[in-house]
Amino acid sequence: MDTNRSQATSSIWQNGRYRRILLFFGRAILHVIWWDLLLGRLPLVRQWPQRNRPQRYRRWSRRFRQLAVDMGGVMIKLGQFLSARVDVLPVEITEELQGLQDEVPAEDTGRVMAVLQQELGDPDRCFARIEERPVAAASLGQAHRAWLRSTNVDAELGEPVIIKVQRPDIEQLVQTDLAALSVVARWVMNYRPIGRRANVPQLLDEFAKTLWEELDYEAEASNAERFAEMYANDGRIYIPAVYRQYSTRRVIVLEDVEATKITDVEQMEADGISPPEVAEALLDAYFRQVFRENFFHADPHPGNLFIRPRTDLPWQPEDGPRPFWLIFVDFGMVGRVPDLVGHNLQRVVISVTQRDAEQLTAAYKDLGFFLPGADLERITEAQTAVLDQIWGRNLLDLARPDPAEVQALGQEFRDLLFDFPFQVPQDFIYLGRAIGMVSGLVSLLDPEINPWYQIERYGEALAAEATEQFSAEALLGLIRPYLQTPMQVQQIFDQALSGKLRVRTEPDRETMRQLRRVEKEIKRLNWSILGAAGIISATLLYLRKR
């Protein structure tokens, strides 16, 4: 297999695929160096690069989008990841790339059927009918609706199914793309703000491992079966059945469960289904997957989530919202949460529930969110302020923070922004992406939803479980500091947490001079470079799953 991949890679390189990827990213890097690192720092012309930055981002995003559509393979996958990183990349980039979720060009049906025949033999032996037009085209494979041969002599067609078939030569394309991106990853490591916070080549290696797993449809069938076992007794989550007898490493056959897309709020309401209840079900499903099962669906885009009314249950409009199935499909990309990470994630939820910024900082530290030498005390102060600002707000408010509040927090903790002692742990690349996508869907279904309800519910349950693991003596040791705190001190502590307590000092002249110097440096610091470098590298930083 490795010999075949090397030979195919050499052939594709000669056809220019390898060179085309390097040329695109090389030009993008030179663009960033010239506009943002050089012109952006010259006092007389720095305003010019800043003013035209949105137009430049959109222009490069369109170029990347065209490159991805033309080349397919990993380039499509990169574009889809970039389009979902609304929390990292400028809106000019994410908006231009969003169409890649639906713009994947379909493969020639004849070539797809040739792969199917290689894997299963004569398709007519297994299927009574296969639709020529695909129901979905993805970067690595393509899906066609079909009907099994019926065992009932009176029935023309058997059960409806979806046949997912790998694209021809996709392994060779992936091998070539990853080889080119490994060169780009080494280039990106020369940019210190990125190289200091992540080993990009290592992240790319991990992404490559995940990508090869996604190309193994036998593994995807196992993932689907595990999800089906997880939700076997759930009244709201439905997982399609897998037809193992018709599935191979390059072909997987699943129950046809296509229904209303999770983003089609109008159709849901027409069916009597409550979109806010769907939002709650989706949040609950992900809390369970991440915090209970340590195994989660890592690609929750709208094409992989459907809503179907439960016709098996009696219902009348006067009964209230209609029961429904939340259906997951496409289990090629899943995430696994290591035990240590899962334990610390539980600590994060418990700390947020209890609004304990000190324990939250400790949990983040153990998860690897801070660079060595980070000022944990100062970070704790910042997290206390942030918790006070965001607690109890709905998702719409969280997604659109008050600029004045953001400015005030930035001014108060400008030393942290200047030092920027944060890094993204490798175990959170895919988890962060999945949570971001779920948050977007939930806010669409119910902009007024209060996520703190789920956080508190799960936090209290996790805290109760954690308490059961402690001995009585250990538990007493945990609560003793609170029992020994005098009421007056506790009141001061509460005021500090609420942000009402401030300690004021008059800085001396030297301190003021240093502060002015820091502020001047902050103004010179061009944080948007990371956004521009997103087309080159941020996706590599975040394309990682555990």
Examine the domain organization and report whether 352 and 437 are in the same domain.
Answer: yes
Asked whether residue 532 falls in the same domain as residue 409, the answer is no
Mean pLDDT to the nearest integer, 416-439: 76
Q: 296 and 408, same structural domain?
A: yes
Q: Please indicate, yes or no, whether residues 210 and 277 belong to a single structural domain of this protein.
A: no
Q: Is residue 157 situated within a structural domain?
A: no
Q: Are both 193 and 51 inside the same structural domain?
A: yes
Q: Give residue-wise pLDDT tens across range 185-226.
A: 899 888 777 777 767 787 788 778 888 889 999 999 999 999
Cβ pair 435, 545 in contact under 8 A: no
pLDDT in tens, 271-325: 999 999 999 999 999 999 998 899 999 989 888 999 999 999 999 999 999 999 9
The first and second tokens of residue 135, run together, are 């129901």
Looking at the structure, do residues 86 and 182 belong to the same domain, yes or no?
Answer: yes
Q: How many helices and strands, by DSSP H and E, does the chain display?
A: 26, 11
Q: 197 and 316: one domain?
A: no
Query: Rounded to whole angstroms, how far apart are CA atoms 107 and 12?
Result: 18
Share above pLDDT 70 across residues of the chain, in percent, rounded to a whole number: 77
Residue 124 lies in a domain: no
Q: For strands 324-328 and 237-238, give the pairing.
A: parallel
Domain end (from 442, 460, 478) = 460
| Average confidence (pLDDT) over 380-401 | 75
Side chain identity, residue 18? Y
Following DSSP, what letter does each residue of 401-434 receive, concatenated?
--HHHHHHHHHHTHHHHHH--B---GGGHHHHHH
Give the three-class secondary structure for 464. helix
Quick one: tokens of 535? Answer: 């087309």
Examine residue 336 and state whether it is found in any structural domain, yes or no: yes
Evaluate if pTM is beyond 0.95: no
Res. 539 pLDDT band, cuts 50 70 90: very low
- Taking alpha carbons only, the member of 41, 64, 40 closest to residue 534 is 64
Which of 426, 460, 494 is a domain's end point?
A: 460
CB 176 within 8 A of CB 71: no
Helix (H, G, I), strand (E, B) or coil at 310: coil
pLDDT of residue 488: 42
For residue range 473-510, list pLDDT tens digits in order.
Answer: 444 444 444 444 444 444 444 444 444 444 444 444 44
Residues 204 and 283 in one domain: no
User: How many structural domains does the chain have?
Assistant: 2
Q: Which domain holds residue 369?
A: 272-324+331-460
Residue 494 lies in a domain: no
Position 73 in a domain: yes
Q: How far, CA to CA in Å, does 43 sit from each of 46, 56, 513?
A: 6, 20, 21
Reduce the DSSP state of residue 508 to 3 states and report it.
coil
> Above 60 in pLDDT, residue 48?
yes
Nearest to 329 by CA among 184, 471, 221: 221
- Do residues 208 and 354 share a domain? no
The answer to whether position 431 is within a domain reads yes
Same domain, 208 and 344: no
What six digits make up the tokens of 498? Answer: 């609420």
> Model confidence over 89-137: pLDDT tens digits?
677 887 888 777 667 888 999 999 999 999 999 999 999 999 999 998 8
Alpha helices per DSSP H over 72-199: 74-84, 91-97, 109-120, 170-188, 192-195
**Of 445, 460, 475, which residue is a domain's last?**
460
Question: Does 101 fall in a domain?
Answer: yes
Q: 391 in a domain, yes or no?
A: yes
- pLDDT at site 387: 83
Q: Assess whether 278 and 206 both reside in one domain.
A: no
Whether residues 196 and 315 share a domain: the answer is no
pLDDT band at 433 (very low <50, low <70, confident <90, very high): confident
